[in-house]
Structure 1
Amino acid sequence: MQINRSGTSDKLACLPRQCAGAMPPDGSPHRRPAQMLSCRPETLQLRKIAIAAICPWRYCNLAIGAAVGLCYGLMRKAVDPGGSKLRILIVRLSALGDVIHTMPLACALRDCLPQATIGWLVEDRFADLLEGHRAVDILLTVQRRWLCRPGEVLRLRDRLRRLQFDVAIDAQGLTKSALAAWLSGAKRRIGYGRPWGRELSRWLNNELVDTRSVHAVPRHLELLAPLGVTAPAVEFSVPIDSKAQQAADTLLGELGIANRYVVIHPGASWPSKRWPADRYAAVAVHLARRWKLPVLVLSGSRQEQQTAAQLAAALPEMIQPAPLLTLKQLAAVLRGARLYLGSDSGPLHLAAAVGVPCVGLYGPWPA
């Protein structure tokens, strides 16, 4: 029998695969000998070449499959349901009242997923209110109209990608907020379905929640259902800043206002939301004369400063216009008020968030 170069006999190499090298346990010959196949030398050579070419790919496929399985297991371990290593990005860019309405969402995440890392992307003009918030580990800011500047978009993308967020929650439902969530690279992008998912947000987010709540706060909380968070308690936890509180106390002392005072804000972003200034003045005079309550009138622009001066002129000894305040100082001033009166605006929602009794005047938009 001729031995080939591989060290095996020609006849043995030509045996059917199920018989080649197979011997009974007792070492005796096969009871039913397999049929010997005659193979030419060139056929043997082609077979060896084919086996040498196929086997490495077979082992590579096994290696790739094992690597993919290992990576998938590591990913499942890194993003476990308990949220111990979950990295979550909240996207609520504006405006003041809407940012305040989103605070309970952050608090619910912190309470239900205490080990998770929570980031918040917001426009820089509202960032002061979130600085030091107990639920926010990473505070990220962008300028207003950032989407109109390609360089700003690329820089935001780089910042977000470096933080490696697993989940992004679009609590605004607009193209700009959904695009920011998409730029983060998060695999799960939770956002609103209809009707609150507007513009291109429903195409950019990949987990849509059809909410049923009418008010903004419970509606935002419904976005947490895909993360297993249902019916959480509503808590705002507006940060208390010691320096801002000291500045507020100094201001109230200079104006001669004691602890019992009323805050009025006659301004609003939309003209249709504004109540006439003379009616605010009539209410302020009534509170001052009938209930002996000093009134502090807030303003956020030059036009509102003129309205505040108009109210103060009705009863100068009891009604005082406040200077322009930072958001932290505004929160400190509101905390000491007995009552808040104003239109549908950010200060109204901030007053409610810090626990002040409020009278809100709503016009074209439901409460």
Structure 2
Amino acid sequence: MRRALVARLDSVGDVLLCGPAVRAVAAGVDEVWMLCSSIGAEAARLLPGVDRVLEWDCPWITAHPPLATPEQLARLDALIAEAAPDVAVILTSFHQSPLPLALHLRLGGVERVTAASADYAGTLLDVRLRPGEEFPEDLPEPVRALTIARAAGFDLPDGDDGRLRMHAGRAPAEFDGLVSPVVVHPGASATSRRWPAERFAEAVALLHEAGRDVVVTGGSDERELTRLVAGAGSSALDLGGRTDLASLAAVIARAAVVVCGNTGPAHIAAAVGTPVVSLFSPVVPAAQWAPYRVPHVLLGDQDAPCRGTRATECPAPGHPCLSSVDAADVVSACERLAPAGRQEVSI
């Protein structure tokens, strides 16, 4: 039995974007275990090629990191011992370091570790890719992850086109009967990436007036937001807090188009082949994080002052990157991507 451990320690969208790399690793080993944060683990369980998911919140990567205590690091060491991988592939974005995890993997007896690191890795990595030297810094995130997997000796099998993929569940019963709906997801974990809720509500009302079925989605902590955007149910079906990740994927797979920011549902849409109207804040580069290999329209000022800051709260007064977009722009983009009358897709 040859087992690989693939690590991606941040959020849902980040985990979905490494799907092609995971499938490449799975094609070359008997088992793939993934090490993910408690937030990203749900997405990992829906990736083809993953046999088991280990959850651990990383003090140097997760958005709301736990303290780096002996107890927290001992949990990591116990998970590595449980996995007992023959090889490990650490997947990170350009601003994240793989080296602390590589040290724990090495101390745990993992004989072959691969990662991308701008910093000198000494004996911590067997295969080290240098960003900006051995591959460009502006690669789309799925390509970056697949590049790391290939350096580790893994590649996609014949017939795999390298697109994002995920397993979907069942949509809520209320969703049945809707015809080519527009799915609107107004939330995002970072306020810098959110279009104003009032603009979302206006766009939903305009879509409803145009005769489109509209569904508003959100997490259990976003019910107030989704109720506002859905017009208290008068303009859209409000599914706020009523889907897990698998059922949300089912809803999005049956949509004509998805309207959202740079957040997990944009990558879910790419994984199930649904076009995206992307309200994209340039705090991170669109070249790396835009919906991958799926039709999309990018809205937002990509040259706004927040460009490239990675800010979670908007650093520019008035949120100019997204406040420049009005509801009519979104409705027009929906019509470009999915003209009214498109037939509903079954999954």
Tell me if both proteins adopt one fold, taking TM over 0.5 as the criterion.
yes
Gaps of 5+ in 2: 59-64, 287-347
- Quick one: structure 1 residues 183 and 156, their matched pair in 2 at CA, closer, same or farther if it must change by over 3 Å? farther
Q: Is the CA contact (8 Å cut-off) linking 2:12 and 2:42 kept in structure 1?
A: no
Query: Equivalents in 2 of 1:330, 1:178: separation in Å?
Result: 34
Query: Equivalents in 2 of 1:228, 1:148: separation in Å?
Result: 32
User: Which structure has the larger Rg?
Assistant: 1
Partner residue of 1:294 out of 213, 223, 232 = 213
Deviation, 1:106, is 0.7
Letter in 1 for 2:4: I
Deviation, 1:177, is 4.3
Letter in 1 for 2:236: I
- Quick one: structure 1 residues 227 and 205, their matched pair in 2 at CA, closer, same or farther if it must change by over 3 Å? closer
- Quick one: structure 1 residues 174 and 342, their matched pair in 2 at CA, closer, same or farther if it must change by over 3 Å? same
Which position in structure 1 is the counterpart of 2:86?
166
Deviation, 1:162, is 4.1
Q: Is the CA contact (8 Å cut-off) linking 2:4 and 2:85 kept in structure 1?
A: yes
Q: Deviation per CA, 1:267-287, whole angstroms, max 9, x where unpaired?
A: 212222111222222322222
Partner residue of 2:26 out of 88, 107, 110 = 110
2:260 is the counterpart of 1:342: yes
Query: Equivalents in 2 of 1:99, 1:157: separation in Å?
Result: 21
| Two-structure CA RMSD over aligned residues (Å) | 2.7
Deviation, 1:164, is 2.6
Of all paired residues, the percent bearing the same amino acid is 27
Letter in 2 for 1:308: T
Q: Is the CA contact (8 Å cut-off) linking 1:170 and 1:181 kept in structure 2?
A: no
Q: Deviation per CA, 1:61-80, whole angstroms, max 9, x where unpaired?
A: xxxxxxxxxxxxxxxxxxxx
Q: Is the CA contact (8 Å cut-off) linking 1:107 and 1:236 kept in structure 2?
A: no
- Quick one: structure 1 residues 162 and 277, their matched pair in 2 at CA, closer, same or farther if it must change by over 3 Å? closer
Which position in structure 2 is the counterpart of 1:276?
196
Letter in 1 for 2:255: A
Which position in structure 2 is the counterpart of 1:34?
none
Deviation, 1:123, is 1.8
- Quick one: structure 1 residues 202 and 284, their matched pair in 2 at CA, closer, same or farther if it must change by over 3 Å? farther
Which position in structure 2 is the counterpart of 1:137?
51
Richer in helix (by share): 1
Structure 1 stretches of 4+ moved >6 Å: 200-203
Query: Equivalents in 2 of 1:148, 1:221: separation in Å?
Result: 29
Letter in 2 for 1:159: L
- Quick one: structure 1 residues 240 and 299, their matched pair in 2 at CA, closer, same or farther if it must change by over 3 Å? closer
Q: Deviation per CA, 1:148-181, whole angstroms, max 9, x where unpaired?
A: 3422422331332243312111102435544554
SS of 2:204's equivalent in the other structure is helix
Q: Relative to structure 2, which stretch is displaced further, 102-111 or 131-140?
A: 131-140
SS of 1:148's equivalent in the other structure is coil
Partner residue of 1:220 out of 135, 138, 145 = 145
Deviation, 1:317, is 3.3
Give the TM-score normalised by structure 1.
0.64
Which position in structure 2 is the counterpart of 1:125?
39
Gaps of 5+ in 1: 1-84
Which position in structure 2 is the counterpart of 1:25?
none
Query: Equivalents in 2 of 1:155, 1:128: separation in Å?
Result: 19
- Quick one: structure 1 residues 107 and 275, their matched pair in 2 at CA, closer, same or farther if it must change by over 3 Å? same
Which position in structure 2 is the counterpart of 1:99?
15
Which position in structure 1 is the counterpart of 2:225?
307
Which position in structure 2 is the counterpart of 1:82?
none
SS of 1:89's equivalent in the other structure is strand
SS of 2:40's equivalent in the other structure is helix
Q: Deviation per CA, 1:191-240, whole angstroms, max 9, x where unpaired?
A: 1133xx7xx97884342113325210101111023333457731433123
2:235 is the counterpart of 1:318: yes
- Quick one: structure 1 residues 121 and 321, their matched pair in 2 at CA, closer, same or farther if it must change by over 3 Å? same
- Quick one: structure 1 residues 366 and 89, their matched pair in 2 at CA, closer, same or farther if it must change by over 3 Å? same
Query: Equivalents in 1 of 2:35, 2:186: separation in Å?
Result: 30
Deviation, 1:264, is 0.8
2:32 is the counterpart of 1:87: no
- Quick one: structure 1 residues 340 and 152, their matched pair in 2 at CA, closer, same or farther if it must change by over 3 Å? same
Deviation, 1:316, is 4.0
SS of 1:239's equivalent in the other structure is coil
Which position in structure 2 is the counterpart of 1:240?
168
Letter in 1 for 2:147: E
Q: Relative to structure 2, which stretch is displaced further, 142-151 or 123-132?
A: 142-151
- Quick one: structure 1 residues 134 and 309, their matched pair in 2 at CA, closer, same or farther if it must change by over 3 Å? closer
Query: Equivalents in 2 of 1:142, 1:201: separation in Å?
Result: 23
- Quick one: structure 1 residues 281 and 217, their matched pair in 2 at CA, closer, same or farther if it must change by over 3 Å? same
